[in-house]
Every structure is written in structure tokens, then in C-alpha cells.
Amino acid sequence: MDRNDSVDRFSFLPDALILIIITCLPFKEAVKTSVLSKRWLRLWQSTGNIDLDENFFVKAGSSGETRATQRSHFVAFLRFWTENYTEPKVKKYRFVYSNSPDFHLPAVQHCIKFAVDHRELTSLDLDFSDPDWDEEDISVNPQTPPHLPAITLDKHAVLNSLRLSACNFRVPQSITFSGLKNVCLAWMKIPGSSLYKFLKLCPSLETLILRRIWNVGSFDIEAPNLKFLVLDKLSGPEFISVSAPSLSFFQYSGLSVYLQMEYNRTMTEAIFDFSLQPTWDEEGDPEMLYNLLSEVWSVKVLTVCSYMLQVVPMAENSLSLQPRLENVTRLVLKTQLHIQEYYGITFFLNSCPRLEVLSIDIGPKKIFEDWRPPYGMREHPFSSNLWYPACVESTLKKIEVKGFKGDDNEITVLRYLLKYGKVLRHLHIGLSKERGADGIDMESTYRENIQKLMDHISSPHLQVYVV
């Protein structure tokens, strides 16, 4: 063996080069380098990539007393870090902390002040949300920690990425974030007018995520370079207008709201989830959703919820969208496969003449009692077998099912698709994890129910997979 193989080649590297290496490491791993040798003991303290996350110390599932002790250890680390950090320039800064007791406040405030003072930051992530907050209950808006100082970014012109959660954020007045491309705002009260002003300061914005923002009111999003947009469980808006000619991905989750999307050719995927909506408006909702689908005609992947399956067929044209969604090759249905959803299922199959992959995600959904069918069930293809969407026979190659139990409605829909799916190649069935009475394992029963489908297969090339 060459004697030189045992030489510590890192020992010959200058500190400046080692610091570059450390800065490329995740912060937690950079701290661990302090145990390598006396020389490395304090080198990590000069990293330009800082990640102060209480979850490194506070472990989920621990008792309240244990968590309090772990949080105290984290605050002690914060104090040690702030007293010893001397690097003048920082590239990335992330600080995650929740449930701050008053006696920890000085250390927390100091960490916030550090972020506000370092104007050379390219990435800033501050998260003071509580993991116990309920994301699904948008009727309750949690109180943003009142003792935290305001986040003012009037001097952070070189930011590239900004993530703020449960912060007291003030929209800057006299700065343009010319390089800011990624923004995520969550768990905050932000008026629509302030949001509009802020977006105007971000001409290069490419990714925008708004999650659990309340009192937002109606607002417009105008972003010429925006490519990725997520609006997740916002509270307060009645109208949202999106003008983003470069948009490729759009996701909306929450209550039914009037969405106006600018007609564009770049969108490839859209997700619509109105599952939190408790009621529906027969006069307005069907036509609004129908028009919304017309504005996302360019998508290749479309995900729709049970609410849309029940409501969209109530529009004037109840059979299919006009013009049709010619580019959609993958359709995802979030459904209970209730009879009231049948009309929506065939509506979307009719509207996607080039569909290749159909994903059916089965689970409990809100079924509206005041719903009425657009036409008689005897005329529906699942019952009459008198007609079928063209894509089922000519282009549909793969069906994916999640949560299969084999009840009558599931069997009805799948038999229909297998009977007319003449070019089907793959059927993937994921069994439900739901147990029976008294916690009985139902897997064997669910597997037996699959046999009810086998006599209705028309494609000679179909392969069936069960997991």
C-alpha cells in the first residue's frame, strides 16, 4: 500500500477553501465537522449557509416536559451561535421556531434582527407557525405571535428566494426585488391590496405559493414570468384574477371562489380542489367552473375533485366541455364514485378525447343532498351502455385505482371502463387500508372483489397489478 494513502489531505487545504466546502454542506452537517479536529472546531461558525431549525432539537412525540427541555437546549444553541458568529456576509438564512415563551424571546428576536440586518441574503426562510395548527379548518385563523418584531425587507434587493410563515410581514415601499424568483407566504393576514403591491415589486417572480392566508379579500395576480402558482386554503377572497402568460403549473385548494384565468398556451398541469366547500350555488357555480376549465385548455395533466364532478355537469352543456381539452393525457379524479359523481366522470372523459392515463383516487367526499341529475340515470352510459366516450375505446391505455374496496359503485364504473377499453394495457389497483367492523383486516375481501371485474375485460393486452 502506498504510504501516502494514509495522509490527511484536508490538512493541507487552506481555511478559505475548507470554508467553501463547509458552506456547501447542510447546516446540521456543517456543525458536525467541529468534532473532526481542533482546527475544525470553529470553522463551521463562518458558514454562509445558516439553518436554525428547532426540529433539530425538539423531537415530535416527546412529552411536554421533554419538549420544553429540548427547546431550552435549542435556545442555548441560538445564544451560543449569535455570540460567536462573526462572518460579515451570509447567503442563506433559515430560522424555524414555534411556541416561544417570553423568557426565550430575546434570543428569538436577535435571530430575526440578524435576518433583517443582513441585506446581502439571497435566500431567507422564517417560520414561526405551530405544527398543531389545523390546516383544514379555514374558519379558524390562528394568532400570529404578537411579540415578534415586524419583518421589513427594505434593504434586501438581492433576494432570490423568500419564505415567510406566521410572520408580521410589512410590504416594502421603496425597493424592487429584481432577482426574487421564489416566494412562499403562509399563516398570515395579508390584505389583497398589499399582496398586489408586493407582487408588483417582484418582476422576475417564477414561483408563488400562498398557503393559509386570511382576510385577503379579492385580489389580482399579474406576473409575466410566473411559472408555478399554488393557492392553498385562502380565507376571504370572493374573486381571484390570474394574469400569468408563462404559467405552467396551477393548483387551487379551498372554498369555491370565482377564478378568472388568463387564456394561455403554456399551462401543462392544473389541480382544482374545492373539497372544503360545504354548499353549492346552482345559479353560479356550474357556469363558473365550466368557464374556468375552458381557460386551462392547454393542460396535459388535470386533477379534479368530487365537488367539480357533481357541479360541472349542471352547466348548460352537461355532456362535455366545448372546446374540448385536446391536450389532456392524464386525468386524476378525487372521488367517492358515488352515483352523483357519475355524470361528472363521463363529462370529463368526453372532454379529454386523447386521454391515456386515468387515475381514480377513492375516498369519502362531501355528497350534496340538494343535487339533481342533469338527465335521467337510465340514459347515463354506466347504466344504458348505449354510448361511451371516444377516449375509452381509442386512447386510454392505463387505469390507476387507489383505495379500492369493491363496492357496487366501484364495480359499476370499472366494469364499464374495462368493457369498452379496447386498447388498455395496464390496470393498477391499490387496495384500501380501511378495516372492517371491530378492526377486521379486509384485504382478502377486497382482493376477492377484484374477480368481479375479470369477466368484463375486452383488451387482450391488459395486465392487472394489485398492491
Three-class DSSP category at 74 = helix
* Under 8 Å between Cβ of 253 and 286: no
Helix axes 443-454, 408-420, angle to 10 degrees: 40
**Distances from the Cα of 440 to the Cαs of 101, 222, 327, 379, 431, in angstroms?**
45, 53, 44, 39, 15
Q: What does the pLDDT look like over 392-414, one tens digit per residue?
A: 999 999 999 999 999 999 999 99
DSSP 439: G
Instruction: Tell the residue number behind the cell numbers 382482493, with chain if given.
Output: 447
Q: What does the pLDDT look like over 304-348, one tens digit per residue?
A: 999 999 999 988 877 788 889 999 999 999 999 999 999 999 999
* Under 8 Å between Cβ of 87 and 47: yes
Q: What does the pLDDT look like over 27-56, one tens digit per residue?
A: 656 556 655 555 555 565 666 778 888 888
Q: What does the pLDDT look like over 413-434, one tens digit per residue?
A: 999 999 999 999 999 999 999 9
- Place 371 in a pLDDT band, splitting at 50, 70 and 90: confident
Query: Measuring CA to CA, which residue among 47, 51, 56 is closest to residue 24?
Result: 47
Query: Measuring CA to CA, which residue among 224, 242, 332 is closest to residue 296?
Result: 242
CA angle centred on 8, ends 33 and 41, rounded to 5°: 25
Average pLDDT over residues 444-465: 94
Q: All domains of the chain, ordered by start, with CATH? A: 270-467 (3.80.10)
Beta-bridge partners for 166: none
Rounded mean pLDDT of the chain?
86
Share of the chain above pLDDT 90, in %: 51
Neighbours of 407 (CB within 10 A): 14
CA atoms within 13 A on the CB side of 373: 12
- Cβ burial, residue 122 (10 Å; 0-12/13-18/19+): middle
Across 47-51, 69-73, 379-383, 462-466, least confident range:
47-51
The structure's pTM equals 0.88
Average pLDDT over residues 433-460: 93
Across 120-129, 137-146, 167-176, 228-237, least confident range:
137-146
Q: What does the pLDDT look like over 78-94, one tens digit per residue?
A: 887 777 777 767 888 99
Phi, psi dihedral angles at 401 (to 5 degrees): -125, 130
Residue 204 has pLDDT above 80, yes or no: yes
Give pLDDT, residue 10.
Answer: 59
76's grid cell:
442555548
Give pLDDT, residue 276.
Answer: 92
CA angle centred on 206, ends 334 and 137, rounded to 5°: 40
